[in-house]
Structure 1
Amino acid sequence: MSEKPVVRSSILPIPKSIGLVWLNIALALILAAIGLGVGFAQSGLAAQQVILYTVLMAATVFVLLNYVAVVFEARAEARAVASEEDQEAESSRLRQLWADNRVLAIAMATLLVLYLILTAAIPEFRSIKNLIGFLVLELILLFAFKISGYFAAGRSAFIGLIVLFALIVISAFSIEGFLSGPNIKAILLFAAFLGIASVGQTMVALLGGLDLSIPFVIGSSNIALLFLITLGVPSYVAFGFILVLGGIVGFLNGVMSYRLQGQALIVTLGTGFAVAGFTQIMTSIGSQFAGNVFGTVPGWLSNLAAMNGRFFGIPFPPTIFIWLAIAVILIVGLKTTTWGRNLYALGGNRRSARLIGISEFKYWVGCYVISGVFAALAGSLLLGWSGGAFIGVGDPYLFTTLAAVVIGGTSLLGGNGGYGFTVIGVLVLQVLTSFLLGIGLEYEWQQFIFGLLILPMVALYGRSPHIRATV
């Protein structure tokens, strides 16, 4: 075996190749020029500070590039005298290194491309704070990826919590007042709406299903509830009736998708369109405003979901506490009750579950009923928040409920995950949304960034093999 390459030690490592030296000088000057431009764009920095930081950055980058070049030159010299066996072993190590880290490399490269696009296209994004925030995010993701292997049982949850922590730190560093009481309250309130809407998506995902009718049920419940109230139906009765109707929609979704195995996506999407259309027809009779209902929202419903709502005298929206109670019940129930264990058994291996007497039909339909009820609950609470009814209020929840489930770590193949994972996904999405709003991006840019950031997050979680592959 050949000896390991030795890097020449000196205070300032210089490559043998003059071309590499000039290349390193050019790269250092380019990065220094970018830093100089960003520095002068900051009104709070003095010119002397900007120049000093730029010189230090150029020198540091030049030294690092030279060191890397010297290392590669030494390795090239070693390879030139190495035997064929040594070369093959080195090549095998490199292939294994890429195989072990390709997800991380792709995720971090995606974030780098996203940062460069934003910096080039949005003047407001060109700041020292955003540059530092991006570097911090990359380092935290690198740390999460490397450490998560020690948490095999909860890999997705660990990485989700690390990503959530990184987003909070970067947002607090970049946006003034991000950690203020009103902003935290707003984040938790909107997270509660999304979390309640994601209950059903989590349940059906644990069985390997999908429910695309959720946004349509949310919008239909939103306008149907106010419509019933304007007709003189007592608000509490109307509220309960809407939840029952949501359960009926879920029951129809469950029965039809079970009978048409493998068609849950199409069935629930068709049911959603039908429900939304029928609701608009019924609520627009005698009115020229289809899809909108005007009326007075009851005070108790407004208090439940409004930012200024109070919970037993505490100035905190009761919807947040409702979501907290739902989360605790589901997390504990799915892990400790027979019903929850049977649900995981069905999601992991339906055939084996049926052999021990678990009714797949009852659990499948039951999960879709739960999905319909909680979608109706989310739509009703959104009425209390907005004070007006609109059929399109549920549109954002088509994508975000799925994203919250997947980002949290629940497998869409069934059998893996749980609502605790979804809570993490909901908080990640909501903090990310608050950050994008805080830096003043327009809606189109928010959607673009939202989608691109979700991809490396999901890839970074590196899903464990499905439970069916381990039985």
Structure 2
Amino acid sequence: MSQSTLAALKWTGLAVAFIVAGIGLIFGFYQGLPAQQVILYTAATFALVAWAWRAFAMRWSEGTRTAAPEIRDADGNLVAPSGRAAWRGFVRKNRAVIAGLIILLLVFGICSITIEGFFSVLNIISLLVLVGLLVFSAFMSKFVVENRSAFIGLTVLVGLFVVGSLKIDGFIYPANIKSMLLFASFLGLACVGQTMVALLGGLDLSIPFVIGAANVGLLYLIGLGMPGWIAVIIITLVGVLIGLLNGFLSFRLQGQALILTLGIGFATSGITQILTSLGSRFAGNVFGAVPEWLSNLAAMNGTTFGLDFPPVILVWLVVAAALIVGMKNTVYGRYLYALGGNRTSASRLSISERRYWVAAYAISGGVSALTGCLLLGWSGGGFIGVGQPYLFMTLAAVVIGGTSLLGGAGGYGFTVIGVLVLQVLTSFLVGIGLNYQWQQFIFGLLILPMVALYARSPHIRTQV
């Protein structure tokens, strides 16, 4: 790397440290803190940011100095790039990291202005932790060729957990961790089918509607006098049938698969409300008694072999382990990756694309229906809209985990990381007292740099 580039990096580090410290200085005086305290914290912030930049960005840049390409003129003489050109190259190469830093600072500034008491020393420390982990994970990912998505996802997860522990009282208490794992289990199970479909290059937008329909339909069947376990089996099989329909039709209409699954989802939700509201004034809601075994399975006060945690967490762990191992070590899993990576090559190996495509959607429908049944045990009442949050959450978990939506790359292990990141982030936003609108705003802004960092790697078809 040229001297001009190194100089540009040094000045950039000083500028970043100055901006961060300046923001702290302005808000410190705005909050009415003592001048000595504001000056002390500003100086400490400037020194910490400058040191972090030197420790990570500059050392990494100096280590790559010999790898910089040579620029020669028409006569073959070496030409040193200008400082402006070096700066543009640096920005272009690290635009995702810079965008993430800008978004974090923007979010912090907006929250500090609009939320009383948000600007504090502890929050500044939390911001610096997030910034440091973002820069660290971005630069270290250049050296982690294998499982880069897992590395960055785990770094983000650790960062969120550390910041939550610093900021929120009781964040690391067993009760809160149990709550996060419970909701992560529901989301993780809902993501099973989405991950398998994404590995083939498809998407299933019917998942939230199947979840809501199963939630209402199960309690409706139980209210008719059907034994609970038989009703769960029937609802799950109906989910499989919906998945089969999604698979067959979307395979025939590949270009319209996204809209098709969404349409089938709406139809499923509509017909469920029609059937369950006959003779009732409440469309989309079913009231009744939920079996105790189902409540114990999915409610917060459920127990597993005498231990104080709901069995659905153990169910998710078993399913996750089976999928992670099975997708890499079974014929079905290997063929699924082969089809997602290159359909033409897979067809020449006599792998039936239609069979695996339809099977993936059938699994998605069945697991989605089972998730809706488990959510009934948690809520205690049937509601057709219970699955609506999963329309975005399943897609976000799959993408944040690093599974390519073009197919052929990723896996359920990566999705597990994405699920945990989303759940810890949600718990953190709730813990700092943000209302739903602010949660959605910050949620989207924080997801963007995560996706930009490691969900846009070159597709496997371009590397074969």
TM-score by length of 2: 0.87
Structure 1: gaps (5+ residues): 8-23, 41-49, 69-82
Q: Which residue matches 1:217?
A: 210
Q: Which residue matches 2:238?
A: 245
1:91/1:385 CA distance change after superposition, 3 Å: same
Aligned residues: 431
Asked if 1:405 corresponds to 2:405, the answer is no
1:31-59 Cα distance to aligned partner (Å, 9 max, x none): 5342244473xxxxxxxxx4433232455
Asked if 1:53 corresponds to 2:46, the answer is no
1:263/1:190 CA distance change after superposition, 3 Å: same
1:144/1:26 CA distance change after superposition, 3 Å: closer
Q: Note the C-alpha offset of 1:319.
A: 0.3
Return the index of the structure with the highest Cα Rg.
1
Q: Note the C-alpha offset of 1:405.
A: 0.2
Asked if 1:137 corresponds to 2:121, the answer is no
1:108-127 Cα distance to aligned partner (Å, 9 max, x none): 11111111111111114222
Asked if 1:390 corresponds to 2:383, the answer is yes
Counterpart pick for 1:344 among 327, 337, 342 = 337
Asked if 1:111 corresponds to 2:139, the answer is no
Instruction: Judge conservation of contact 1:39–1:128 (CA < 8 Å) in 2.
Output: no
Q: What amino acid maps onto 1:337 in structure 2? A: T
RMSD: 2.8
Distance in 2 between residues matched to 1:311 and 1:295, nearest whole Å: 25
Larger CA deviation: 211-220 vs 146-155: 146-155
SS of structure 2 residue aligned to 1:422: helix
Q: Which residue matches 1:258?
A: 251
Structure 2: gaps (5+ residues): 8-16, 54-72
Distance in 1 between residues matched to 2:206 and 2:377, nearest whole Å: 22
Q: What amino acid maps onto 2:383 in structure 1? A: F
1:346-366 Cα distance to aligned partner (Å, 9 max, x none): 000001000000000000000
Asked if 1:174 corresponds to 2:158, the answer is no
Instruction: Judge conservation of contact 2:5–2:87 (CA < 8 Å) in 1.
Output: no
1:379/1:64 CA distance change after superposition, 3 Å: closer
1:200/1:28 CA distance change after superposition, 3 Å: closer
Instruction: Judge conservation of contact 1:202–1:418 (CA < 8 Å) in 2.
Output: yes
SS of structure 1 residue aligned to 2:142: helix
Q: Which residue matches 1:15?
A: none
Counterpart pick for 2:370 among 373, 377, 384 = 377
Distance in 1 between residues matched to 2:442 and 2:6, nearest whole Å: 44
Q: Note the C-alpha offset of 1:90.
A: 4.3
Distance in 1 between residues matched to 2:417 and 2:284, nearest whole Å: 33
1:64/1:402 CA distance change after superposition, 3 Å: closer
Q: Note the C-alpha offset of 1:98.
A: 2.1
Counterpart pick for 2:448 among 441, 455, 459 = 455
Instruction: Judge conservation of contact 1:156–1:463 (CA < 8 Å) in 2.
Output: no
Q: What amino acid maps onto 1:163 in structure 2? A: V
Q: What amino acid maps onto 1:421 in structure 2? A: F
1:51/1:254 CA distance change after superposition, 3 Å: same
Instruction: Judge conservation of contact 2:5–2:86 (CA < 8 Å) in 1.
Output: no
Counterpart pick for 1:414 among 401, 407, 411 = 407
Q: Note the C-alpha offset of 1:150.
A: 1.7
Distance in 1 between residues matched to 2:407 and 2:123, nearest whole Å: 38
Q: Which residue matches 1:80?
A: none
Distance in 2 between residues matched to 1:370 and 1:264, nearest whole Å: 16
Distance in 2 between residues matched to 1:62 and 1:176, nearest whole Å: 28
Identity percentage over the alignment? 58
1:70-89 Cα distance to aligned partner (Å, 9 max, x none): xxxxxxxxxxxxx9975535
Distance in 2 between residues matched to 1:153 and 1:466, nearest whole Å: 15
Q: What amino acid maps onto 2:375 in structure 1? A: L
Q: Which residue matches 1:207?
A: 200
1:412/1:317 CA distance change after superposition, 3 Å: same
Q: Which residue matches 2:347?
A: 354
Instruction: Judge conservation of contact 1:405–1:425 (CA < 8 Å) in 2.
Output: yes
Instruction: Judge conservation of contact 1:345–1:353 (CA < 8 Å) in 2.
Output: yes
